[in-house]
Every structure is written in C-alpha cells, then in structure tokens.
Amino acid sequence: MNKFSRIASALALSFAAIGAHAAAPAPVKNVVLVHGFFADGSGWKGVADILTRDGYNVSVVQQPETSLEDDVKATTRAVDALPGRSILVGHSYGGMVITEAGNHPGVAGLVYVAAFEPDAGESLKDLADRMAPATKGIKAADGHLFFDPALFHADFAADLSVADARFMAVSQVTPAVQAATAPVSQPAWKRKPSWAIVSKDDRTVNPDLERFMAKRAGSKTVEVAGSHVAFIAHPDQVAKVIEQAASAAGSL
C-alpha cells in the first residue's frame, strides 16, 4: 500500500467514526408522568423530586379524564413542550393514555406502573373484566366513576397512612365512564420498548392482570411489594426503573 492509499484509508476510517458518532442517539432526559383514576398529578411528587435531582426534565400531566381522547391530547401536548425524546410513564389508567400517546415520534419508551397495557381494540373495562380486581370499591354515578371512601385506604392506598389515604379519598378525581370504556387503537408498545412495575399487593388492579399484560407486551418487568399507589409509597423504586428505561432507550 503506497503513501496515498494509507492516507485515504485513514481518512475513510476517521469519517466513518465521525459518522457513527453523529448517528448515535441522544440520551433521553425527559420524563412525562401521567396519573390514573381517582388520583391527580401531585401523587408523582416523590418520583418527580428524585428524577429532577438526577438531572431529568420532568413534566406531570394533569389530564381532564373526560375521555381517553382528551387525555391523550393533554399528554401529547406535554411531550411537544419538551425538547428531545421523552419517556412516558403511566400509573393505572395512565397506562391506557401512554399506550396511545406513545406513538408520538418524540417518545422513546414507555413505563407502566401498576398500569393497564391494552392491545388494539381493548378498553380499561375490557381488561378489568378479564381479571377482576379484589376491590368492590369502584362505583358509578351520573356518568362518572368514584372510589368508595370507606374502602379507599384498604383497597387503593394501603401502604399510605390513614390520614393521607383519607385526604386522597376526599379529594379524588372522578373520571368519566367513557374514559374507561374507550378502546385503544394503536398500541405504542408494539413498536417501542416498555417496562412494567407490578404491585404485588394491588387490590385495585389485579396483579395477575398486570403480569399478563406486561408479558404480552414484552415489557421488562419488576415487582414491588406495594398497594395500587406504590408509586407514592415507594418513589425510589419507581424512579429507579424510570431511569433504567431512559438509559436503555437512549442507546436504541
């Protein structure tokens, strides 16, 4: 190989390395948190504080729960407002929302926290009917759902204090029934990586249903010993999974 050939080969290797470096995906530093039924975004405070401390940009969606469509739009607006790619995190019904909203090109991955992971054509009600939860506390009135305050601590937030659970019960969001009966059309988990946290002591969503949905979706699954609101009671464990998802999705 003559001198010019060696120089040409060296330049080609250098340009290839530069091109590979330029094509490497940027790290995911945005996290969008979506709450579920009977709660609101304030429940994410412990998780959000940890993520913010660790350098993530956090957005908490306060979706109206008037319909699945409205809630997907609210979540999409939150993704649009952040520069770069995001991890979507959904608790409970929030899993329905992120499954549809996760088709946004700015979403790098999905994290389900004691959440519903629907397939195409499935609603929250369809899934809950498939494997019923232990609680009998979910009631309907005037086109909305509510959780019986007398059962709220035992069946929704058992690992919170009595006082905290009582306040959640009296301040609960009452979602429209149609939000629970609307089907998802295009599940984002079929095209994007997903993670799932199963709450082993959940009485609001059947833990076996959580396991079934996570396995079907191919979600990397972690189990925690907690109630339906494990994301409030155990924010460190939930934040750890979210950060692992952000790191893994950033390398894809």
Q: Indicate the SS3 state at residue 30.
A: strand
Q: Are 209 and 122 in contact (CB under 8 A)?
A: no
SS3 83: coil
Rounded Cα–Cα distance for residues 181 and 176 (Å): 9
Sorted by sequence, the CB contacts under 8 Å of residue 54 that are 6+ apart come out as: 239, 243
Q: pLDDT tens across 207-217, in order?
A: 999 999 999 99
Task: Judge whether 14 lies within some domain.
Answer: no
Q: Which amino acid is at 228?
A: H
Q: Which amino acid is at 209?
A: L
Whether residue 138 lies inside any domain: the answer is yes
Inter-residue contact 159 to 233 (CB < 8 Å): yes
Task: Find tokens 């959580």 and name the residue.
Answer: 210
In a domain, residue 6? The reply is no
Instruction: List the single range of 1-10, 145-154, 236-245 with lowest mean pLDDT.
Output: 1-10
Q: How many CA atoms are closer than 13 Å to the CA of 7, on its beta-carbon side?
A: 3
The pLDDT score that the predictor gives to residue 26 is 72
Average pLDDT over residues 62-68: 97
pLDDT tens profile 37-61: 999 999 999 999 999 999 999 999 9
pLDDT on residue 1: 52
Does a structural domain hold residue 224?
A: yes
Contact 47/33 with Cβ under 8 angstroms? yes
Is residue 15 one of the residues assigned to a domain? no
- What is the tally of structural domains in the chain? 1
- Report the CATH number at residue 233: 3.40.50.1820
In a domain, 21, yes or no: no
Write down the mean pLDDT value for the chain. Answer: 92
What average pLDDT score do residues 136-142 get? 98
Percent of the chain at pLDDT > 90 equals 88
Q: Of the candidates 15, 17, 47, 50, which has an alpha carbon nearest to the alpha carbon of residue 34?
A: 47
Taking the C-alpha atoms of residue 213 and residue 84, their distance in angstroms, rounded to an integer, is 29
Confirm whether 19 is domain-assigned.
no
- Domain residue limits at 173: 26-250
170 part of a folded domain: yes
User: For the purposes of burial, counting CB atoms within 10 Å of the CB of 71, is it exposed (0-12), middle (13-18) or buried (19 or more)?
Assistant: buried
Q: CA-CA distance, 169 to 197, in Å (whole number)?
A: 24
